[in-house]
Structure 1
Amino acid sequence: MNPNVLKQLAIVVKQGSLSRACEQLFITQPTLTRSIQQLEMKVGAPVLVRHRYGVEATEIGARLAQIGERILAETEQGEEVIRQFHSGYHNEFVIGIDPLWEFATVEQMTAYFMQEKRYVFHFRTGSAAAQIALLQKGELDFLLAPAHLSVKQGSLDRQLLFRDRSGVFVGKKSALLGADKPISKTVLEKQNWMVAGANAGFLDRPSELIGLKAASMAFTGSIRSVLHLLNTTDMLVRLPARMTLMTGEIDVEQRIQVDGQNGPRRDIALWSKIDNLERLEYMKVHAFIHDFMQTLDETVPTFDLEL
């Protein structure tokens, strides 16, 4: 089977229109129609059905289009590898990053990684739960994410390198702003809460602070919205305290003390697959990231947190 036909089918299905697919492929509609007809003859059944708004895939057409999508992706990746080779890069490494970590360390991290000229770095930002799954499947080489996750870690290596602790932050319009003594659970239960890191695999939940009252908003893989609400409303949220204050977007007085013990650990770890640690180039990049995280931990203020 000609893989080009499968790529063409994938583009037709994605565009939902033969004419739009022709524009993307730079071919005429009769040429594309003949390719689809040849594929249908091989299959012995239609791969596309027409409707008033364009075309859509049949069941077999959708399955073949998925294969075409993978061929397209592999082709594009192959072209990028060639470009990297001609540009003098040795290899590409895909690094997953926690959203708050990216926002809090953007200046230091970009400057540090730009010093390394041998490799291409592909950064992916997302929730810890989604990223750890990608790491386990081999779609990430490294992950910078919370160290304490309720996930299976059998094939993973975890090195805790940046210390942090969970803290409670209040919006600038909250009556609790600047409180000089610990706030009781009774008072906290009456506040307007949001949840950051929903479905992120954290071991602890804010329920011990907000009681039976549901949080009015939850965010997964987002930090800008959370910081915006802390600056414009009276809402409360639990966040990694050190990284939150590192952003420079939140005032120190917005972190309040809570009756009882300190918040749970929110350390950041360098995650990787154990099997990959035997590869020389992989080990070099692992050491490169390790040094960055350790240096950052030693030089960034602790904001009087008990770390």
Structure 2
Amino acid sequence: MNPNLLQQLAIVVKQGSISRACEQLYITQPTLTRSIKQLEMKVGAPLLIRTRYGVEPTEIGARLAQIGERILAESEHGKEVIRQWHSGYHHEFVIGIDPLLEFAAVSRLTSELLRENRFVFHLRTASAAAQIEMLQEGKLDFLISHAHLSVAQSALQREILFRDRTGIFAGKLSKLIGRQLPVSREEMAQHRWMIAGASAGFLDTQRALTEPQAARMALTGSIRSLLHLLNTTDLLVRLPARLTLMTGEVAPEQMIKVEGQPGPRRDLALWSRAEQEGRPEMLRVQELLSRLITELDHDTPCYGLDL
């Protein structure tokens, strides 16, 4: 089957319109219509259904369009690999990064990676649960994220590099800021909360993460919105304490003292697939990332946390 026809079908399905697909492909409508007809003759069934809003795929059309999407993605990646080779770069590494770490240490991360002039780095940010799955599927080469996860990890190796615990932070309008005595759980129950990050995949029990009141807002991967709310409201939120204070946008006094045990650990680790061990270029990048995060741990204050 001609892969070009599958790519064209994928673009038609994505655009939902033959005419818009023609604009993207720089071909005429009769040419694209003939391509779809060729595929339909091969399949022996319609691939598209016309609606008042454009076109929609049939069941077999949707399945073939998914294959076409993958061909498109691989084709674009192939073009980029050729550009990298002509530019003198030997390897590309895809690295998943915790969103809060990326925000807190963006300058240091990017400057260190740019010093390695033989490699191309593709950085991705997302939740730990989503990225650990991508690492297992081979879509990431390395992941810098939470060390204590309850997901299956038998094929992965982990190196804990950055020590951290969660702390409870109050928005700047909160009356809890500046309190000298620890705040009781009963008193915290009277305050409004927000949730940052998904709890799924963390080793902590759900009870340890659940706050007294239902959250007014939940944020996943949205660092800017989180920092905005901490600067403009009285909401409380549980966050990795050192990383949060590293951003420079949250004041140390916003981390309130709480009665009872310290917050759960939120150490960061460098994750990789065990099967990659031993490849020289992988070892070089692993050493680079390990040194970078270890130096961050060494240079970052502990802010009174029991680490």
TM-score (norm 2): 0.97
How far is 1:158 from its partner? Answer: 0.6
Report matched runs for 1:67-86 at 5 Å: 67-86=67-86
- Taking every aligned residue pair, what percent have the same amino acid on both sides? 64
Change (3 A) 1:260 1:212: closer
How far is 1:208 from its partner? Answer: 4.9
AA aligned to 1:125 is: T
> Residue 229 of structure 1 aligns with which residue?
229
> Residue 243 of structure 2 aligns with which residue?
243
**Kept in 2: contact 1:166–1:265 (CA 8 A):** yes
AA aligned to 1:98 is: D
Tell whether 2:161 aligns with 1:149.
no
Give the number of equivalent residue pairs. 307
Change (3 A) 1:143 1:89: same
> Residue 271 of structure 1 aligns with which residue?
271
How far is 1:145 from its partner? Answer: 0.3
AA aligned to 2:282 is: Y
Say which SS state the counterpart of residue 94 (structure 1) adopts.
strand
For 1:142-184, what per-residue CA distance to the aligned partner results, in whole angstroms no more than 9, with x for missing partners?
Answer: 0000111111111111100011111110011111011111111
For 1:48-96, what per-residue CA distance to the aligned partner results, in whole angstroms no more than 9, with x for missing partners?
Answer: 1112221111111111111111111111011000000000001000000
> Residue 188 of structure 2 aligns with which residue?
188
Say which SS state the counterpart of residue 269 (structure 1) adopts.
strand
How far is 1:240 from its partner? Answer: 0.6
> Residue 204 of structure 2 aligns with which residue?
204
- In structure 1, how many angstroms separate the alpha carbons of the residues matched to 2:264 and 2:210? 16
Report matched runs for 1:35-74 at 5 Å: 35-74=35-74
**Kept in 1: contact 2:168–2:237 (CA 8 A):** yes
TM-score (norm 1): 0.97
**Kept in 1: contact 2:48–2:56 (CA 8 A):** yes
How far is 1:200 from its partner? Answer: 4.3
**Kept in 1: contact 2:95–2:143 (CA 8 A):** yes
> Residue 29 of structure 2 aligns with which residue?
29
AA aligned to 1:230 is: L
Say which SS state the counterpart of residue 56 (structure 1) adopts.
strand
Change (3 A) 1:209 1:76: closer
> Residue 302 of structure 1 aligns with which residue?
302
Report matched runs for 1:71-150 at 5 Å: 71-150=71-150
- In structure 2, how many angstroms separate the alpha carbons of the residues matched to 1:116 and 1:47? 48
- In structure 1, how many angstroms separate the alpha carbons of the residues matched to 2:202 and 2:36? 48
For 1:22-50, what per-residue CA distance to the aligned partner results, in whole angstroms no more than 9, with x for missing partners?
Answer: 11111111111111111111111111111
- In structure 2, how many angstroms separate the alpha carbons of the residues matched to 1:211 and 1:63? 43
TM-align CA RMSD = 1.4
How far is 1:211 from its partner? Answer: 5.3
How far is 1:220 from its partner? Answer: 1.6
- In structure 1, how many angstroms separate the alpha carbons of the residues matched to 2:45 and 2:209? 59
Say which SS state the counterpart of residue 93 (structure 1) adopts.
strand
Say which SS state the counterpart of residue 60 (structure 1) adopts.
helix
Say which SS state the counterpart of residue 272 (structure 1) adopts.
strand
Change (3 A) 1:297 1:2: same
Structure 1, unaligned runs of 5 or more:
none
Larger displacement relative to structure 2 (297-306 or 92-101) = 297-306
Say which SS state the counterpart of residue 122 (structure 1) adopts.
strand
